[in-house]
Amino acid sequence: MKYGKVSFLCLTLLFFIPGTGQSEVDGTWGMGVVANYEVPLFALNSWFPSGGINVGASIVNAKNATWTFELDGQYTKYNSGDLEKRSFLFGGDGQSYNSPNANSEMVWASLSANFLYHFNRGGEKLESGGGAPYLLIGAGFYHFKNKMSGLIYPGQSGTTIDPNVLLRPAEDVRTEPGVSLGFGIEYFASQSVAIDIRGQYHIIWGETRSMEAWGLEKAYPFHKFNGGARIKFYFAN
């Protein structure tokens, strides 16, 4: 339901972007494919310092030579979180222990509206070719699942740790709003194909639980950055 609402809102906003003079690119539709590498920042980086591959697809509309709209869907997975390598202090004997079968991963799926502002009416280069730098603002919904399993229970009684006594597997699953800001250069190789190099910073109003025994604090809000390339295919009006 949330994804349906944001899709409707994005498409509605598209038609209220003001025009900047007639151009042959006005109203040109297209689609794109995305390949990025994504890195969590700040508190979330403590959980997943390595980040992960980010892929996706987009629907594109060149509203005019200055403004382009994207409806952007993306998928990301962070594997081998730092929780897998961390130890906890067992009060029974004062020793630190790792959980050899620990597993920590985080999966993302997002749907957002991006508005690209091409400097100096750079979108007109869809007709003539060349590079066009732009500023991006975006907003949407981010669904995430943070999964943890295989952790030895650190609150055991006695003076000997039993590695077979585990915490129950846990998940943080939510869909939360977020915003983004980015900068890129779109190179129009022809009137139908463009290569887009982009960096994008995201803030999402989500949170993880804290895992204090392993020295991991709650991460809120989420900050992350992804950068990479996308190929766009435009269709003639």
Q: Return the CATH number at 144.
A: 2.40.160.20
- The answer to the question of residue 67 being in a domain is yes
- The answer to the question of residue 70 being in a domain is yes
| Beta strands 87-90; 28-41: pairing state | unpaired
What pLDDT score does 23 carry?
Answer: 55
- The answer to the question of residue 18 being in a domain is no
What pLDDT score does 25 carry?
Answer: 74
- The answer to the question of residue 201 being in a domain is yes
Residue ranges of E strands in 168-236: 170-188, 193-204, 222-235
What pLDDT score does 24 carry?
Answer: 67
- The answer to the question of residue 19 being in a domain is no
- H runs (alpha helix) in the chain: 2-14, 43-47, 125-128
Per-residue pLDDT, averaged over 154-164, amounts to 94
What pLDDT score does 7 carry?
Answer: 46
Contact yes or no for 108/134 (Cβ under 8 A): no
Which is it for the CA torsion 51, 137, 33, 118, positive or negative? Answer: negative
pTM, to two decimals: 0.88
The residue to which tokens 């890195």 are assigned: 39
Binned at pLDDT 50, 70 and 90, residue 22 comes out as low
- The answer to the question of residue 183 being in a domain is yes
- The answer to the question of residue 23 being in a domain is no
Per-residue pLDDT, averaged over 62-74, amounts to 95
Q: What is the tally of structural domains in the chain?
A: 1
Binned at pLDDT 50, 70 and 90, residue 27 comes out as confident
CA distance 3 to 165: 40
Domain housing 124 = 2-9+30-235
- The answer to the question of residue 20 being in a domain is no
Spell out the residues 6+ positions from residue 92 whose beta carbon is closer than 8 angstroms to its own: 156, 157, 158, 159, 160, 161
Binned at pLDDT 50, 70 and 90, residue 124 comes out as confident
What pLDDT score does 44 carry?
Answer: 98
What pLDDT score does 122 carry?
Answer: 78
